[in-house]
Structure 1
Amino acid sequence: MFAEESRDLLVQVQLTPQTPAEKMDLVEFRMRYVNVLQSTMEKASTTVTVARPVAVTNDNVVDESVVAQKLRVTAVEAIEAAQQQAKKGNLREGRQALQSVITSVMQDMASFGAPAKAQAAHLLADLNECTANMQTQTTYQTRGHGRMQQKIQSHWMQRQNNIEVEEESLDMECAAGTFGSDNEDDDEESGDVEESDDVDIGDLFAQRSPAPAPRARMARSSAAPPAPPAPGGYSRIGNTVQMKMMKKAFKVANK
């Protein structure tokens, strides 16, 4: 766990008949963790208690947060089961396992409040995506397997790890020369080279660096020609990022 993270743990306990009591110790949780600031190992513990009245009232009241966490665990287990079916080539059975959980999530969402409903909606979207990624073997092998593995890790660890990049969006950023730029001011400064698709990294050196020694020129002329760029927008990522890094490096050096 990272700083300020939290985890939800589901514990199922079966109680035996007991003498009625206002409060009874049920479960004790213990944990050990590293105190990074003090460089020491720390311990913490807490005890869960439950009331054991003579008669239980409001037995039909449901804790939405507990139900939401139960749905999360059930969904992850269903995705894992679907992956096992997919490994055997049984995509249909895998989709059926996911669809069963989708139905359960939709039924419980109807009675949820806003916070739990938002969490269930996110879970439902992930289950629908997993189902769509199991339509064909090609879809599953090229995209579905990796995406489903991300969903499993994300919901088990309760940590977002969506690393998918849309190819169309990436190509548009490369074509516009905006890939990797968060601030336009960092990319614009008087005297810098204007960005264009035809700008070469060597031009940046030529403008701000002295001419290389003859030996260096000879070594450069004898070097093997660069490999042709790969097809598609991805071939431009390296040049775009390198150019931005060079420009920022020159800014620092001249300050």
Structure 2
Amino acid sequence: MANSQEHTVKAFDQDIGQLRGLISQMGGLAERAIAQSMVALQRGDTDFANDIRLDDKKIDVLETEVERTAVRIIALRAPMADDLREVVAALKIAGVVERIGDYAKNIAKRVPQIESEHRIEPVSMLPAMARMAAEMVRDVLDAFAARDPEAAVGVCERDDALDDFYDSIFRTLVTYMVENPKTISQCAHLLFIAKNLERIGDHATNVAEMVYFAATGTRLVERERGTD
């Protein structure tokens, strides 16, 4: 009986490991897509931008695999309490990471619409914002893999800095549009890109809240109320 139970636990651990691995792959692709979209933007490289859009399908395939694996785990292993929270969290996180990949793809879609010549100065501000957003994605998925609720809290705390970065870029772009109406079209595209990066940070924060709940059984909002 003990051997059977031990085998079941080992099999479940392997399944969870597979689930974490799939999420990690999704996150790696999403993080790379964010960085590559900035490279395409800075170079004005429409071919590279198109490659990024095509690569997004890989994230979609992995999301389907996560769903299939999670359903199989729930059906075969009937996980309880902590284990069930982790499986459900993985399922939700996969959906959020897929949306993060969509934001990177949307940024790449804007590249052909932005003039490659006469680039305005705010273009140079976006890669730093993108790095901040991509680091939040990477760190929150590391927190999920490690079941580290405190690391998840740390990601949430960085969202304000990303919002401030967005506000700064927004003000700069509005100033450009007012002072030089010829830049309105380009500035509008750059505002869209900055907003996409800000939304990536929001989604990383959402994942952090899921990671915290999966690891502790307590929602992050409840923790914050308790520390008031």
Structure 1 length-normalised TM: 0.27
Structure number having the greater strand percentage: 1
Structure 2 length-normalised TM: 0.30
Structure number having the greater helix percentage: 2
